[in-house]
Amino acid sequence: MTDVKIALHRLPHGQDLPLPSYETRQSAGMDLRAAVDADMEILPGGRALVPTGFKIALPDGYEAQIRPRSGLALKKGITLPNSPGTIDADYRGEVGIILMNLGNEPFVIARGDRIAQMIIAPVTQASWIETEELDETVRGEGGFGSTGVASTGS
């Protein structure tokens, strides 16, 4: 595993919260916590921007991907509508998490609740090469669902 050093600035409303952290040694994502001053409720079908109480300065060539927590998604229907969200290396504002309630019950977020996870990943930038034709493949122009869902067996 690569150890990437990232500058982090705690904001006043995040001073008492733990920093983003990996829950286990082999975790890919760091848990992010809600830096809300009071309980926040998201009604079914609703969205909210939840503050984390910190800003970061990612090194050039890296991004932070913000993803849902699987337990919240399964048990409560809580997801991120822009998943994965991307934090670019040149962004210097507060990390905010857009949560959406796809469940059937209101969802309450309390201060310090783990609400999402953040994965630090290298960035690849592409450049385009215009061409008159593309190489042929077995799939060709087959679109959504063109490869089927059932296993064909061997």
Confidence grade of residue 153 (pLDDT, cut at 50, 70, 90): low
Between the alpha carbon of residue 121 and those of residues 60, 69, 126, the distances in Å are 11, 18, 16
Higher pLDDT, 140 or 97: 97
β-bridge partners, 85: 66
According to DSSP, the β-strands at 94-101 and 30-33 are: unpaired
Res. 151: pLDDT tops 70: no
Question: In sequence order, which residues have a C-beta less than 8 Å from that of residue 127 and are 6 or more positions away?
Answer: none
Which two three-digit tokens encode residue 115?
Answer: 């609400």
Q: State the CB neighbour count (10 A cutoff) for residue 73.
A: 16
d(CA 51, CA 113): 11
**Residue ranges covered by each domain of the chain:** 7-122
Interval 51-78: pLDDT, tens:
999 999 999 999 999 999 999 999 999 9
Which amino acid type is present at position 147? T
Confidence grade of residue 107 (pLDDT, cut at 50, 70, 90): very high
Interval 120-135: pLDDT, tens:
999 999 999 999 999 9
Identify the pLDDT of residue 65. Answer: 98
Identify the pLDDT of residue 152. Answer: 62
Identify the pLDDT of residue 130. Answer: 97
Whole-structure pTM value: 0.86
The CATH architecture of the domain made up of 7-122 is Distorted Sandwich (2.70)
Angle (CA) 67-71-77 rounded to 5° is 80
For the residues 15-39, what does the mean pLDDT come to?
96
Helix (H) or strand (E) holding 71: helix 70-76
**SS3 assignment, position 150:** coil
